[in-house]
Structure 1
Amino acid sequence: MTGFRLIHRVPYYSQWESAALVAEFVSGVRGAAEDPLWLKSGADSAEDYAFWAPRMCGMACLRMALDHWGHEVPPSVPLVREAVEAGAYVRTEEQVKGLIYAPFAGWVARRWGLYAEVRPELVVGDVGSEIARGRVVLLSVHKSIRTLDPVPPQRGGHLVLAVGTDPDGVFLHNPSGLPGRSQEFHHVLWADLDRFFAGRGVVLGPHA
């Protein structure tokens, strides 16, 4: 934690192309294959896009970081395919294992020359320190952080990007956050973060 407010002006990317429709996607009112902007993802079909969109929180966080540090931002589905080739995801039939941190960090460092450090034991106090160094942090949280669920069923399973901190909490870009509520610069109190945060993540910085 830090004793001052510091927010990096990181561009926001949703894991779905239509960020304004996330509430409908996560509630099941609308299927991802019905995303009117799915072609922007670079997927071969709406079904291909619908398979990956709910699983691309890590790729959305990476796209935010790439944009922030001036790199070309690949479309989401070609990017996730490259991540699969790098071992950051393992796909078997209709299941996907990942994001797997170590191969992800190695790929990011090789591919873009970014600083990428796996932090299997990450405490909330470290987040402010990394933000102060000019970095951003992928945090493993439960997806219900989007509504600050008072009793989430578990910690972890979803990735958000910490882009700022102040004495009271952290500012998050949430790839599956709700528009106008918890997508961009969502301020989450440290005490609230604790019930969602799995205590692990990946730190990204502008150079190796």
Structure 2
Amino acid sequence: MTVATTHNVPYFSQWESAALVPEFVSGTASAAADPLWESSGAETAEEYAFWAPRMCGMACLRMALGYFGQPVPASVPLVREALAAGAYVRDGDQVQGLIYAPFAAWVASQWGLFAEARPELSVEEVDAEISRGRLVLMSVHKTIRTLDPRPAQRGGHLVLAVGSGPDHITVHNPSGFPEKSQQFHQIPRVDLARFFAGRGVVLGHTQ
């Protein structure tokens, strides 16, 4: 049986105003109107609005850096570094990423952390990594925030697994809803399979 373990990981949304995520997700508010957009390090509100919906991986990385005692950069400068490292590929308004192998190589070289791309990753392996004191970026469908009974697919969005227990995985969700599914959201194991794509990235201290 899995022993309950939860790491005290700081939380960052992929939008600067975490309280406004429902409005950003629904389209009733534009990310360009985020009153805290300048905190992202973007040069313009438009630059921030382009990247905010695409920064789940950078939000997860910022959480992990905070947990492992590293300085936490602002989100948009971090995206620029990730682009330079090949972890994202931008072509006009299209972005490919997060690309796991170059992302893991960048994290290892830049911060000296253990970082391993896992193109095949089981829930049991997530449990094992959590028990070792590591964190796991998990590829899930974005509607995991509401435990949608019929998600369109598996994968496409990244959450950070920060804990596990006999009947759940605990995640920080960069696009979760406030007071519901942002911090320490317990995803029942019986629900996880319809969202989780079976891949991700493991982060931890070097041994």
- TM-score computed with the length of structure 1 as normaliser: 0.98
- Does 2:6 match 1:16? no
Partner residue, 2:36: 37
Identity among equivalent pairs (%): 69
Residues 173-184 of structure 1 mapped to structure 2, 5 A cutoff: 173-184=172-183
1:191: Cα distance to partner? 1.2
In 2, Cα distance between equivalents of 1:50 and 1:38: 8
Partner residue, 2:115: 116
What secondary structure does 2:61 align onto? Answer: helix
What secondary structure does 2:126 align onto? Answer: helix
Partner residue, 1:91: 90
Query: What amino acid sits opposite 1:91 in the alignment?
Result: R
1:131: Cα distance to partner? 0.2
1:207: Cα distance to partner? 2.0
Query: What amino acid sits opposite 1:8 in the alignment?
Result: H
Unpaired runs of at least 5, structure 2: none
What secondary structure does 1:164 align onto? Answer: strand
1:161: Cα distance to partner? 0.2
What secondary structure does 1:197 align onto? Answer: coil
In 2, Cα distance between equivalents of 1:114 and 1:32: 32
Post-superposition Cα deviations, 1:42-87, rounded to whole Å, max 9, x if no partner, equal: 0010000000000000000000000001111000000000000000
Residues 179-194 of structure 1 mapped to structure 2, 5 A cutoff: 179-194=178-193
Partner residue, 1:68: 67
1:4: Cα distance to partner? 1.4
Query: What amino acid sits opposite 1:135 in the alignment?
Result: R
Query: What amino acid sits opposite 1:155 in the alignment?
Result: R
Off by >4 Å, runs of 4+ in structure 1:
none
In 2, Cα distance between equivalents of 1:41 and 1:170: 29
Query: What amino acid sits opposite 2:11 in the alignment?
Result: Y
Query: What amino acid sits opposite 2:86 in the alignment?
Result: G
1:3: Cα distance to partner? 2.3
- TM-score computed with the length of structure 2 as normaliser: 0.99
Partner residue, 1:150: 149
Query: What amino acid sits opposite 1:77 in the alignment?
Result: V
Partner residue, 2:195: 196
Query: What amino acid sits opposite 2:149 in the alignment?
Result: P
How many corresponding residue pairs? 207
In 2, Cα distance between equivalents of 1:206 and 1:35: 34
In 2, Cα distance between equivalents of 1:70 and 1:126: 24
In 2, Cα distance between equivalents of 1:60 and 1:16: 9
In 1, Cα distance between equivalents of 2:179 and 2:24: 15
In 1, Cα distance between equivalents of 2:129 and 2:205: 12
Partner residue, 1:164: 163
Query: What amino acid sits opposite 1:168 in the alignment?
Result: D
